[in-house]
Amino acid sequence: MKNFTTIFPFAENVHLIKDVGQVANSIALEGGYETKLVCFKNSEDYSFLNSEAQHLKIDFIKPCGKKLFMERAIMRYIEENAKKIDIIHFFHLTKETIYYALHYKKHNPNGKVYVKMDVYNEMLEQEIKYSKRPIFNWIHKQKEKHFFKQLTAISVENPIALELLKKKFPLLKDKALLLTNGVNDQFLEKQFPTLKAFEQKENIILSVGRIGASDKNFEMLLDAFGKATIKDWKLVFVGPIESEFDKRVERIIVRYPNLKNQIELVGNVEDRKELYEHYNRSKICCLTSPFESFGITFIEAMYFGNYVIGTTGMSSFNYITNNFELGKAIDVNDENALIGLLEKVSNDAIILEENYQKAKNRISDKFYWSKIVTPLIKKLSD
């Protein structure tokens, strides 16, 4: 059995349900590989190994300092295990990835290297700099050329990024492929053999993430909901509450007393089935982040037939929504546009009902992990 090893030293339990864990988990399930994740022990437990990442194993390593910008523990692990690793997998095109990969190829010349970029489209339109100091950046650029020759496969999350990558790095034209993020369809089908019909869903606008985090701009959604004219709808936030967001909710309710029973802070939800049940109940899912390379929350929401609202700063939103057929994006920080869109969509039952089955179909066509990894398995088998 061939071995596929993901190197991501800072992985926590939550990363197992994201692409960090799900690529390897799906490679094991669909390709028959033995898969491992190599990381420090960053969480007290890794409970998702028992559910959505049950086909993945973890090799824990202990931090032992750095050699320049590289983790000594990673370098040592690669030296000791390279011959047993058929395919090594990294995230992001960084100088660390370049040097770790070349170190691997030194110890296993026949091994294969795969990189999942997880990149914003805008970053591919700019020059990639590995150091602020010109001489060091030049040195890393020379290593980059050697690294590209050793690379087997590199992927991005949406078609625009794929074209940008090929244009930016012609050497990667035949090595680049589309590999989105997705949902663990096999897990979800077991947990939810029957989804709520549209008529059973509730008038809920759902938002999921680190509620109150400075880079997510949940405040705009809260303020827009307070100002919008929306009757008989609830705004539900699910996720750990940060930055005194609960106090902001209290101030909104003081200002708009009629919203007292229309805004709910659920808090952090560790149980994945319980989290998915929130998607199952809701009709609309909204995120207002200025930037997202992908937005897995939208995929999870659309699996349950939700209409999605995002921003123009989300690189993959166009692709996820099939050219905005299944959702709409507002300009970043445009609160007035969000108010208008929330009012329009929440008051249009026809749009929401027509979207219900189309959204589910879109996910089953493009965003099931069992299907997403198929091109990668083929590329790695060539």
pLDDT band at 341 (very low <50, low <70, confident <90, very high): very high
Give the separation between CA 238 and CA 259, rounded to whole angstroms: 18
Q: Are residues 291 and 328 in the same domain?
A: yes
Which residue type occupies 360?
Answer: K
Q: Are residues 21 and 65 in the same domain?
A: yes
Tokens 């990639």 sit at which residue? 128
Q: Are residues 147 and 232 in the same domain?
A: no
Residue 224's H or E segment, with its range, is: helix 218-227
Judge whether residue 258 has pLDDT over 90. no
Give the separation between CA 157 and CA 316, rounded to whole angstroms: 7
pTM of the model: 0.93
SS3 of 39, please? strand
Strands 204-208 and 284-286 come out as parallel
pLDDT > 70: what percent of the chain?
Answer: 100
228: left (phi over 0), alpha (psi -120 to 50) or beta: beta
Q: Are residues 176 and 196 in the same domain?
A: no
Judge whether residue 243 has pLDDT over 80. no
Give the separation between CA 103 and CA 79, rounded to whole angstroms: 8
Q: Are residues 209 and 170 in the same domain?
A: no
Strands 263-267 and 153-156 come out as unpaired
Residue 77's H or E segment, with its range, is: helix 72-81
Q: Are residues 228 and 360 in the same domain?
A: yes
Q: Are residues 301 and 372 in the same domain?
A: no
Number of domains, the chain: 2
Between CA 342 and CA 352, with CA 347 as vertex, the angle to 5 degrees is 85
CATH number, domain with residue 262: 3.40.50.2000
Q: What is the mean pLDDT of residues 151-177?
A: 96
Predicted confidence at residue 5, as pLDDT, reads: 98
Q: Are 347 and 353 in contact (CB under 8 A)?
A: no
pLDDT > 90: what percent of the chain?
Answer: 92
Q: Who contacts 351 (Cβ-Cβ below 8 Å, separation ≥6)?
A: 307, 345
Positive or negative, the Cα torsion across 77, 95, 49, 73? positive
pLDDT digits (tens, 9 = 90+) for 28-81: 999 999 999 999 999 999 999 999 999 999 999 999 999 999 999 999 999 999
Q: 108 lies in which domain range? A: 3-182+368-381
Which residue type occupies 366?
Answer: K
Q: Are residues 345 and 200 in the same domain?
A: yes
Q: Running DSSP on this structure, what letter comes out for residue 221?
A: H
CA distances in angstroms from 82 to 77, 108, 202, 293, listed in the order given: 8, 6, 52, 31
What does residue 193 show for φ and ψ, rounded to 5 degrees?
A: -60, -25
DSSP code string of 322-382: TTTTSEEEEPTT-HHHHHHHHHHHHT-HHHHHHHHHHHHHHHHHH-BHHHHTHHHHHHHH-
pLDDT digits (tens, 9 = 90+) for 79-93: 999 999 999 999 999
Q: Are residues 285 and 271 in the same domain?
A: yes
Q: Are residues 56 and 117 in the same domain?
A: yes
pLDDT digits (tens, 9 = 90+) for 196-214: 999 999 999 999 999 999 8
Q: Running DSSP on this structure, what letter comes out for residue 28?
A: H
Q: Are residues 29 and 158 in the same domain?
A: yes
Between CA 20 and CA 30, with CA 25 as vertex, the angle to 5 degrees is 135
Q: Are residues 84 and 216 in the same domain?
A: no
Predicted confidence at residue 225, as pLDDT, reads: 96
pLDDT digits (tens, 9 = 90+) for 91-133: 999 999 999 999 999 999 999 999 999 988 988 998 889 999 9
Q: Are 97 and 90 in contact (CB under 8 A)?
A: yes
Neighbours of 368 (CB within 10 A): 20
Q: What is the mean pLDDT of residues 282-286?
A: 98
The better pLDDT of the pair 308, 315 is held by 308
Predicted confidence at residue 382, as pLDDT, reads: 82
DSSP code string of 205-217: EEEESSBT-TTT-
